[in-house]
């Protein structure tokens, strides 16, 4: 069992938790992920590691409450336990040998982009970051990004905070200004990552994306997380989750990610809480 030692609501839909998992914290690196399971009947859900404290033995996860399991996780509190917390899984972000990089985060994807930006900075790179949100009320981790960035640009779609426009608008401006990046790392919604790749392609800038396909076991055995990269089948859980964005088949990825949306909505709507049912039975 793994104890929740800290819980913080970053906005109405996004929650941060520190989980007591010393063996995971000891080995975790930026770009890797964990798989959690709330209880014996829970589904296996992957979440990218947002941070870790090796001394305290804790791992930070940041998640958006959008499906049954993430909503259930968000309903737990400090001191509660979850059944499984497995990791670290996947390949870490390659930060070596980069002189200047640009890390682009979109929405809750910024939670994944932050440890990568920190890792690049610790490796000695000049780090520019672009973080984008729909509006001011859902901005997260602004101070944390400023602390690890040489230049930080905050964008909102509606212009309610920072600069108005998509992150790709700022990225285009930076590239056109003549800045030469060894790498651009994009993490966020699949359409956002796709258009970051389209923005960097004419400039010949190596671009990496962190993919989030449907995943079950996290060891490459189930094949659920397969993606096509450079015409070859790859498994995000063991070959990734980071890949060369210019080689990713984004149309296939987006199609596969939508396969279970209707079923997820049905489960969320019809689910009956066993604890509530037990309480009603005792009252009777």
The per-residue pLDDT for 214 is: 76
Burial of 185 (0-12, 13-18, 19+ CB in 10 A): buried
**CATH, range 2-89:** 2.40.30.10
Any idea what the Cα angle at residue 257 is, between residues 170 and 102, rounded to 5°? 25
pLDDT above 70 (res 278): no
Going by DSSP bridges, is the β-strand pair 14-20/58-64 parallel, antiparallel, or unpaired? antiparallel
Average pLDDT over residues 113-135: 96
Locate CATH 2.40.30.10 in the chain.
2-89
Least confident of 58-72, 102-116, 216-230: 216-230
- CA–CA distance, 165 with 143 (Å, rounded to integer): 20
| Residues 105/113, Cβ–Cβ less than 8 Å | yes
| Residues 105/114, Cβ–Cβ less than 8 Å | yes
Phi, psi of 79 (to 5 degrees): 95, -20
Confidence band (pLDDT; 50, 70, 90) for 40?
A: confident
Question: Coil, strand or helix: which one is 169?
Answer: helix
Locate CATH 3.40.50.80 in the chain.
100-257
Confidence band (pLDDT; 50, 70, 90) for 226?
A: confident
Cα–Cα nearest to 248, from 202, 201, 282: 201
Cα–Cα nearest to 131, from 167, 158, 161: 167
Q: What percent of the chain has pLDDT over 90?
A: 73
The per-residue pLDDT for 22 is: 96
CA dist list (Å): 93 to 48, 57, 115, 223, 233: 12, 21, 9, 22, 20
- CA–CA distance, 168 with 36 (Å, rounded to integer): 33
- CA–CA distance, 86 with 142 (Å, rounded to integer): 29
pLDDT above 60 (res 272): no
CATH level 3 topology of 100-257: Rossmann fold (3.40.50)
Better pLDDT: 216 or 172: 172
Confidence band (pLDDT; 50, 70, 90) for 258?
A: low
DSSP state of 43: P
Going by DSSP bridges, is the β-strand pair 51-53/81-82 parallel, antiparallel, or unpaired? unpaired
**pLDDT tens digits along 171-203:** 999 999 999 999 999 999 999 999 999 999 999
Question: Coil, strand or helix: which one is 189?
Answer: coil
**pLDDT tens digits along 24-36:** 999 999 999 999 9
């Amino acid at each position: 069992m793994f104890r929740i030692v800290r819980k913080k609501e970053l906005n109405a839909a996004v929650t941060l938790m520190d989980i007591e998992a010393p063996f995971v914290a000891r080995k975790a690196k930026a770009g890797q992920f964990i798989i959690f399971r709330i209880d014996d009947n829970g589904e296996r859900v992957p979440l990218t590691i947002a941070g870790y404290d090796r001394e305290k033995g804790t791992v930070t996860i940041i998640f958006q409450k959008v499906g049954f399991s993430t909503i259930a996780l968000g309903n737990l509190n400090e001191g509660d336990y979850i059944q499984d917390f497995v990791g670290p899984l996947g390949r870490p972000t390659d930060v070596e040998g980069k002189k200047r990089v640009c890390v682009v985060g979109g929405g809750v994807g910024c939670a994944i982009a932050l440890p990568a930006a920190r890792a690049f900075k610790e490796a000695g790179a000049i780090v520019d970051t672009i973080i984008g949100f729909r509006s001011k009320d859902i901005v997260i981790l602004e101070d944390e990004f400023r602390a690890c960035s040489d230049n930080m640009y905050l964008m909102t779609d509606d212009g309610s905070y920072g600069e108005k426009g998509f992150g790709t608008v700022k990225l285009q401006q930076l590239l056109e200004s003549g800045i030469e990046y060894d790498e651009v790392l994009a993490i966020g919604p699949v359409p956002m990552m796709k258009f970051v790749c389209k923005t960097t392609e004419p400039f010949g800038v190596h671009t990496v994306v962190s993919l989030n396909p449907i995943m079950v076991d996290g060891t490459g055995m189930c094949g659920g997380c397969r993606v096509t990269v450079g015409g070859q089948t790859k498994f995000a859980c063991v070959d990734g989750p980071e890949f060369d964005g210019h080689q990713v088949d984004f149309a296939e990825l987006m199609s596969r990610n939508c396969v279970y949306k209707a079923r997820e909505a049905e489960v969320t709507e019809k689910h009956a809480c066993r604890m509530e049912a037990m309480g009603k039975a005792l009252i009777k």
